[in-house]
Structure 1
Amino acid sequence: MVKQKELNSYSRNEIMHELLLGVNKKGKPAHGLMGDIAKKYGIHWKTVSRIWATVKNQQKEGATLDATRKKFGRITNTIIPFDESKFQALEKSKKTSPKAVANVMGVSQSTAWRWKKKKHIYAFKFSDMYNIIHIDEKLFYLTRTQQTYYLTPGESEPHREIQSKRFIPKTMFMCAVAKPMNYSGGELIFDEKIGIFPFTTQVLAKRRSKNKNRGKPETKPNSIHNKDTHKGQC
């Protein structure tokens, strides 16, 4: 039977008659009767208990037994049953959120959430992410204009070669990581680090200088960063 948030007058009187028919010798409903009625009508057993309390008060006062609801207006909050066949026939691309489910099923969002709560439907996600690699790019300057190092007496001082401190070259690096993998025993087999790859090229020096001879290989940062260079790096 369809569950209801609030019983109409007909159902309340039906419950009253079932309670009266199930009264034992002590004048009380038989053990377990309220629970069975609550399960039958899809309501809480306390609702059945309140109806029984109303009947008992009317019996004491000698009034006509009547469990009619006291509220005025029409009851329209009947819970819509879940149509599994209709739901399965829908495209999965149209069932990506409770709002989308409500739209394609022609119900309210609260009804869709209620279906989820009652486990008629559940949310599925590709959560393992073992087949996904995350990449990111960042620009780094070759050096800083001013950099301090702390050394011990007699330690060799660092050497730096650069054409101009006003135009320090910068290089883009691409970092690639993925989800780490472990054996069932907890042993690590992949530590999530794939690598860091610079956007550079190897060229031969065209001129001789005090820092290098002509024809010596040197690393130059790529000056062009577009879709083709990124795709080639991948």
Structure 2
Amino acid sequence: MPLDIDLNITFSFPEEQSSSICESIAPSNIETPQFEFELNHPSNLIVEDNMNQDVPSNIESSEFEFELTHFSYVNDEDSLTSEINSRKRGFLTNEQRKAIYHILLSLSPDGKSHKYGVIPRIAALYNVHRSVIYRIWNQVKDTGNVCHRKTLCGRKRVQLDFERMRQVPLSKLSTYRALSNPLNIPKTSLIRLQKSGVIRRHSSTLKPYLKEDNMINRLRFCKDMLDSNSLPHDPKFISMHNIVFIDEKWFYITKTKKDEEEPYRTCKSKNFIGKLMFLAAVARPRFDDEKNVTFSGKIGIFPFVYEQPARRSSVNRVAGTLERKPITSVTREVNKSFLISKVLPAIKSMWPREDVGKIIYIQQDNARSHISTNDPDFCRAASEDGFDIQMTCQPPNSPDLNVLDLGFFNAIQSLQQQEAVNSIDELIDAVQKAFDDFSCQQSDKNFSTLQSCMIEITKIKGSNKYKIPHMKKDMMYNQGCIPTQLSCDSLLIQEVTEYLQSFDD
């Protein structure tokens, strides 16, 4: 049966009665709010949903007012309680706890109790259980403080003396156990400090030793890679689209160490692990305006093998079947034959037709097994069919100036090691598959990294003591603004030019 209640009648406590009620319950350190509200509710009335508005967190007790204007009739409290419990409970800040206390104090007619339904509705308003509201009310009555209780718990954190750690020799920084003794800190504490980011692990790679002549040659090589049309005001590197990088790489059937418990693997010696050398040739890929690949740049990867008929029959093949055997000694003649019979035909068949007749450079390192730049047999084969292919060499002891050693070989080796191989034929197929699956976009990023390394080399006068800079190439590629020619500082190039002229004089 609906209740006959006039909700427009204004009720308010007399000022003296209101003050006496608040003073009886409010602690001395919390200001008593001045309030007035329109309220005529029996014990079975609760706040309507339009009260579900957050109370400002910066509210002051002296300025707090609360007005209750709409009510609805409910039969029981179970439906409201189940609705509250189904929600995810929240965490109340100190400002929210103060606001809840002021609401409770305003809605308490005698400063000790509250009308039926007020506590669940306030709990629903702040998305907490009603027991939290009761605890806030009781905490103020007991302690006079509505804020969270601050207690000291847990053990003290281990403090790391960084100055003492810097004095530890590098030979004792290789393992946690070696570092724990001079610092007098448990090994497990160092592991926790490393996981939390206080200390970090790092490795130091062994780089080639460079003489002064090597650094000068590296500096000249980087300067020659600049586009002559961009000098001297806006120096930029050439796009490197007409350079084919070649190099050799050993690939193994299995790794000597794997982070796994099974399977159980045995080998008489590391020298018995099957391996094979490959000759790779890579150029810079090309794309159209819509980022579609027009030229992959992957000339080919060629295994150093020879075919030999099987002498005896076995469960795998009959006698006379041709088998591929690895060439264990790659000499200059072997290298020349592979260049003439495999690399040059692959370049001529894959090179873009619009660039036929332009100069194509093949860059190799200075290994003793490599041919000279003016080898007559190679020059004769390179000038056939209308092509102009020339051989060049990178500076000595400079693997960071070859895009293959810079990142390409590591990438395809990681792909190859994901395949389980047991023979030379399976190894060749796995390496070829890794070479074909390598992304052209990643290959293009390697060329941008090569140009950034050249910039770092010019800054430190040809040395190799630098870190590869982070260029955010993924973000630049997604935005379609990754440059094919990186720019250099004109003052830096002028300084390098004067530095090289001092050695020429």
TM-score, reference length from structure 2:
0.18
Structure with more of its chain in helix, by fraction: 2
TM-score if structure 1 supplies the norm length?
0.37
Greater share of strand residues, 1 or 2?
1
